[in-house]
Amino acid sequence: MSTTPEPADSHDLIRVQGARENNLKDVSVEIPKRRLTVFTGVSGSGKSSLVFGTIAAESRRLIDETYSTFVQGFMPNLPRPDVDVLEGLTTAILVDQERMGANPRSTLGTVTDAHAMLRSLFSRIGEPSIGGPTAFSFNIPTTTVGGASVTESGKKNVIKQQVYLGGMCPQCEGRGTVSDLDLSQIVDESRSLVDGAILVPGYTADGWMVAAYKAVLPPEKPVAAYTKAEREDFLYAEPRKIKVDKINITYEGLIPKIRKSMFAKDIDSLQPHIRAFVERAAVFGTCPSCDGTRLNESARSVTIKGRNIGEVAALQVTDLAAWLRTIDDPGVAPLIATLLHLLDSFVDIGLGYLSLDRPSGTLSGGEAQRTKMVRHLGSALTDVTYVFDEPTIGLHPHDIERMNKLLLELRDKGNTVLVVEHKPETIAIADHVVDMGPGAGSGGGEVVFQGTVDGLRASGTRTGEHLSYRASLKESVRERTGVLEVRGADAHNLQKVDVDIPLGVLTVVTGVAGSGKSSLVHGSVVGREGVVAIDQAAIKGSRRSNPATYTGLLEPIRKAFAKANDVKPALFSANSEGACPTCKGSGVIVTELGFMDTVSTPCEDCGGKRFQAAVLDYRLGGLNIAEVLELPVERALELFTAPETKVPAAADILARLQDVGLGYLTLGQPLNTLSGGERQRVKLALHLKEKGGIYVLDEPTTGLHLADVDNLLGLLDRLVDAGKTVIVIEHHQAVMAHADWIIDLGPGAGHDGGRIVFEGTPADLVAQAGTLTGQHLADYVS
Ligand code: ADP
Ligand code: ADP
Ligand code: ZN
Ligand code: ZN
């Protein structure tokens, strides 16, 4: 536990008075500077509205104002947050869970400068010596500039040829992979066209898409028996005109056809079943020329102690640090010391199992957030306000202890640290706590307590009560109805894992970060038939969608509006006829700023309501469509179950949203403003009625207050009691204690993990307590 620094004097405060963003009810708080303040409260109580929407937003606006008037001319005015007084702000840096862009050229090494230091090291002491650090960069090609040119008068002009040495592999252009299609996922060669040889979604044997192939090729002959010419024609033919049933159509080989219609498209824009197919069928092979190292031959030829830069970048960070410590060359000692300092902070923050060559787009939200934190730990800036959004996501209780140390370290460097967090372990280290509530949405928006952690415990607020809450182990667990066999799983770090996942029960998969939980569940369970995976990933087109459009709720509501007013349903869609012409129904005007982030400001014509003025004259139960979309789920449920305004189809969907703990969510809130946890719960609500028998969830307690976790457990119980199998990856001890079966991976992370260290009931896990998870669960339930 930390020693609390001297109390802040009264000038050393961030003062917020009269904050009214979203649901905030004239909130006033005083936050001590250069201290660690944790914001708590049930989800929807207003933590984000205060911390991100008010404090961080105003800090950013003030920074934007420091640009010259010339630059400001290009920037729309960010609206000032709705607050009376904000004093004592310092520059705020947001360290969030937003995943890092999927740019295939960006790796953990390139985003943290670690790779730049490695390049420098290789250019200085690598053998043989081949020139500057760029020669080791896989993002820089080798180019030749110069040569001879002839002027108009015929004079020859010789410019000395210059070769710029980059390290990029010419075949894969520095990506390390080359893409290909897995033919076995596209065609079942043992079958003929009439028995469904084509496995592509939408290509049913007697459907229109296959008719062209049946007209050109022998329809009853198995594909495996095709002649070479037939096979070529089937798979690769260039487009040509043919007639089928007297209709002119274009015939094209299957591969180029689906490449264009499916594989060349933005994956997020595809329908879910097509997207699943594309993900199955697109294989990224290791580049044969560079063997996945992304580097050209010259860069690979240079070694230090027998290893080239590609091999070094592939080491897991803990191993890389150990290797660097064996280099004993005074010339590069300062460089190595700086690099080791950076790598040690990776280890401290629980990321020691990653390698520097890991594509940054493949990091999970929690890993991305911790990577950003590493960047700031090395920063020379002080007196900055760091704002964290649930930094413990993805962390095992064991990892949380280390994360806490780093938060305190940031504070001790003279920074103000603001953390939105639910985990008791992190609340416990706060110098100051601001507890929001008492409820969510309009039932929240107040500060129900501010002060010390001990004060919070004694305060009687829901958070205070839950801080000392201990779960009890279940008396009895459910009986399995069968098993899902996993054999020889070896994705990433998994060491040929054999495991039987029980069916018909609630299974919790545990283990420290990097132990292989996602690799096991996503690699061996997700993708099988009947498995519904519910993740926190962004939802496509999310600027225009909202919970009402995404869950299909808007359909019955529009119909009810149309019926009540005797007009067309399409009028009540902000994506079609009813749209405000100025913002085309998005409610905002988005300005691309090129070199900076894009900024959106509310549309002035419709005031952000998204509809044409005329549409708003039509009412249902006294409300117009924009007003209905401003209702929280809870209120909308009341409306659509009331006798005069009953819409059963809408009420059914709303009840599911309420069930997943989203009663406070506004129907029209843009999906891109939801947190990862909220997104996951919206998806859960949408899938609740699906036929799939197996549900897979990744850390569903993300964003949930301890009080909300109880509701989630009730929901998972209902799913299992309805005959479904539920598999969750979780770190929350309350969820572990509630499991019927636990699968614990470990013992460590990366190559020190990847094995099953325990399978059994929570009670057995506690009784044995041989694993880290067992110890932490034992502490929690005791
Ligand atoms: P917390 O961070 O405690 O979960 P939030 O500050 O996100 O709570 O939400 C408080 C209330 O404000 C909720 O009712 C939520 O639906 C609403 N809200 C949050 N963000 C927005 C937004 N961008 N637009 C409209 N309403 C919002
Ligand atoms: P957990 O879910 O338990 O945190 P993961 O399954 O994400 O663990 O990671 C287990 C190991 O697999 C780690 O060493 C991690 O770096 C590696 N790994 C995970 N995803 C990828 C990926 N997309 N590419 C390469 N390695 C990965
Ligand atoms: Zn290559
Ligand atoms: Zn508008």
What are 729's strand-pairing partners? 509, 698
- Which ligand 2 atom is at minimum distance from the Cα of 751? 14
Q: At what angle do helices 648-659 and 676-687 cross, to 10 degrees?
A: 130
Going by CA atoms, what residue is nearest to atom 21 of ligand 1? Answer: 22
Residue 515 CB–ligand 2 contact under 6 Å: yes
With the CA atoms of 434, 437, 440 and 443 taken in that order, what torsion angle do they form, in degrees rounded to the nearest 10?
-150
How confident is the model over 388-414, as a mean pLDDT? 89
Which residues in 294-304 are b (16+ Cβ under 10 Å) and which e? bbbebbbebeb
Task: Read off the pLDDT band of 2 (50, 70, 90).
Answer: very low
Rounded-to-integer distance, Cα 81 and Cα 56, Å? 10
Sign of CA dihedral 460, 464, 467, 473: positive
In this prediction the pTM is 0.81
Question: Residue 378: which region, alpha, beta or left (left: phi > 0; alpha: psi -120 to 50)?
Answer: alpha
- Cis check: omega of the bond before 128, within 30 degrees of 0: yes
With the CA atoms of 543, 703, 272 and 688 taken in that order, what torsion angle do they form, in degrees rounded to the nearest 10?
-120
Task: State in Å: Cα 519 to ligand 2 middle.
Answer: 6
- Tokens at 602, concatenated: 């509310």
User: Would you give the distance in Å from CA 303 to the centre of its chain?
Assistant: 37
CA nearest to 511, candidates 300, 246, 729, 684: 729
Answer whether residue 594 shows pLDDT above 60.
no
Longest dimension (CA), the chain: 97
444 or 381: whose pLDDT is higher? Answer: 444
How confident is the model over 51-56, as a mean pLDDT? 94
Q: How far from 457 is each of 38, 209, 435, 443, 453, CA to CA, in Å?
A: 14, 65, 11, 22, 6
pLDDT tens digits, one per residue of 211-243: 999 999 999 999 999 999 999 999 999 999 998
Task: State in Å: Cα 309 to ligand 1 middle.
Answer: 47
Rounded-to-integer distance, Cα 567 and Cα 577, Å? 12
CA nearest to 729, candidates 773, 776, 779, 663: 773
- Tokens at 144, concatenated: 């030749």
Contacts of 235 (CB under 8 A, 6+ apart): 183, 187, 253, 254, 255
Answer whether residue 157 shows pLDDT above 80.
no
Answer whether residue 532 shows pLDDT above 80.
yes
Residue among 99, 286, 317, 518 to mutate when testing ligand 2 (max atoms within 8 A of CB)? 518
Residue 514 CB–ligand 2 contact under 6 Å: yes
In which order are the strands placed within the sheet that holds 83-87? 27-32, 13-19, 83-87
Task: State in Å: Cα 607 to ligand 4 middle.
Answer: 6
Answer whether residue 489 shows pLDDT above 80.
yes
Answer whether residue 595 shows pLDDT above 50.
no
Q: How far from 578 is each of 245, 529, 582, CA to CA, in Å?
A: 42, 40, 12
Answer whether residue 549 shows pLDDT above 70.
yes
Q: 568: helix, coil or strand?
A: coil
Ligand 1 surroundings by CB, under 6 angstroms: 22-23, 41, 43-49, 436, 441, 664-666, 669, 673
Rounded-to-integer distance, Cα 167 and Cα 137, Å? 5
Q: 651: helix, coil or strand?
A: helix
Give the ipTM: 0.93
pLDDT tens digits, one per residue of 414-467: 999 999 999 999 999 999 999 999 988 888 999 999 999 999 999 999 999 988
What are 387's strand-pairing partners? 94, 418
Q: 529: helix, coil or strand?
A: coil
Q: 755: helix, coil or strand?
A: strand
Residue 516 CB–ligand 2 contact under 6 Å: yes
Answer whether residue 65 shows pLDDT above 90.
no
The 10 Å Cβ neighbour count of residue 273 is 10
Rounded-to-integer distance, Cα 336 and Cα 332, Å? 6
Contact yes or no for 369/336 (Cβ under 8 A) = no
Residue among 355, 493, 521 to mutate when testing ligand 2 (max atoms within 8 A of CB)? 493
Instruction: Output the DSSP codes for 88-123.
Output: S---EEEE--PPPP--TT-BHHHHHSHHHHHHHHHH
pLDDT tens digits, one per residue of 353-368: 999 999 998 888 788 8
Going by CA atoms, what residue is nearest to atom 10 of ligand 2? Answer: 516
- Tokens at 172, concatenated: 């894969």
Instruction: Determine which helix (DSSP H) or strand (DSSP E) holds 71, and give its type and residue range.
Output: helix 69-72
Contact yes or no for 599/76 (Cβ under 8 A) = yes
Rounded-to-integer distance, Cα 160 and Cα 163, Å? 10
Q: 531: helix, coil or strand?
A: strand
Task: State in Å: Cα 456 to ligand 4 middle.
Answer: 44
The 10 Å Cβ neighbour count of residue 766 is 22
Residues listed for the chain: 782
CA nearest to 582, candidates 555, 551, 613, 559: 613
Q: Which ligand is nearest to the CA of 296?
A: 3
How confident is the model over 671-698, as a mean pLDDT? 83
Kindly report the average pLDDT of the chain as a whole number.
Answer: 89
- Cis check: omega of the bond before 438, within 30 degrees of 0: yes
Contact yes or no for 580/565 (Cβ under 8 A) = no
> CA triplet 340, 341, 342: central angle to 5 degrees?
90
CA nearest to 59, candidates 89, 37, 79: 89
CA nearest to 356, candidates 179, 516, 117: 117
Q: Which ligand is nearest to the CA of 661?
A: 1
pLDDT tens digits, one per residue of 236-271: 999 999 988 888 888 999 999 998 888 877 666 777
Answer whether residue 557 shows pLDDT above 50.
yes
- Tokens at 594, concatenated: 């090129």
Task: State in Å: Cα 416 to ligand 1 middle.
Answer: 24
- At residue 601, the pLDDT reads 80
Residue among 43, 47, 49 to mutate when testing ligand 1 (max atoms within 8 A of CB)? 49
Strands 755-760 and 741-746: antiparallel
Contact yes or no for 519/493 (Cβ under 8 A) = yes
- Which ligand 2 atom is at minimum distance from the Cα of 745? 3
Instruction: Output the DSSP codes for 260-276.
Output: IIIITS-GGGS-HHHHH
Residue 365 CB–ligand 2 contact under 6 Å: no
Task: Read off the pLDDT band of 543 (50, 70, 90).
Answer: low
Residue 748 CB–ligand 2 contact under 6 Å: no
3-state secondary structure 167-213: CECCCCCCCCEEEEECHHHCECCCCCHHHCCECCCCCCCCCHHHHHH
- The residue written with tokens 């390290």 in the block is 167
How confident is the model over 615-643, as a mean pLDDT? 95
- At residue 294, the pLDDT reads 95
Contact yes or no for 507/741 (Cβ under 8 A) = yes
Instruction: Output DSSP code: residue 27.
Output: E
How confident is the model over 689-713, as a mean pLDDT? 85
pLDDT tens digits, one per residue of 273-315: 888 888 888 887 889 999 999 999 999 999 999 999 999 999 9
Rounded-to-integer distance, Cα 114 and Cα 358, Å? 12
Answer whether residue 390 shows pLDDT above 70.
yes
Task: State in Å: Cα 489 to ligand 3 middle.
Answer: 27
Instruction: Determine which helix (DSSP H) or strand (DSSP E) holds 548, and give its type and residue range.
Output: helix 547-550
With the CA atoms of 94, 99, 103 and 105 taken in that order, what torsion angle do they form, in degrees rounded to the nearest 10?
80
Contact yes or no for 257/227 (Cβ under 8 A) = no
- At residue 167, the pLDDT reads 94
Task: State in Å: Cα 258 to ligand 2 middle.
Answer: 31
Strands 156-164 and 143-150: antiparallel
Answer whether residue 371 shows pLDDT above 80.
yes
Q: Which ligand is nearest to the CA of 299?
A: 3
What are 483's strand-pairing partners? 502
Instruction: Output DSSP code: residue 632.
Output: B
Q: Which ligand is nearest to the CA of 681?
A: 1
Rounded-to-integer distance, Cα 376 and Cα 386, Å? 9
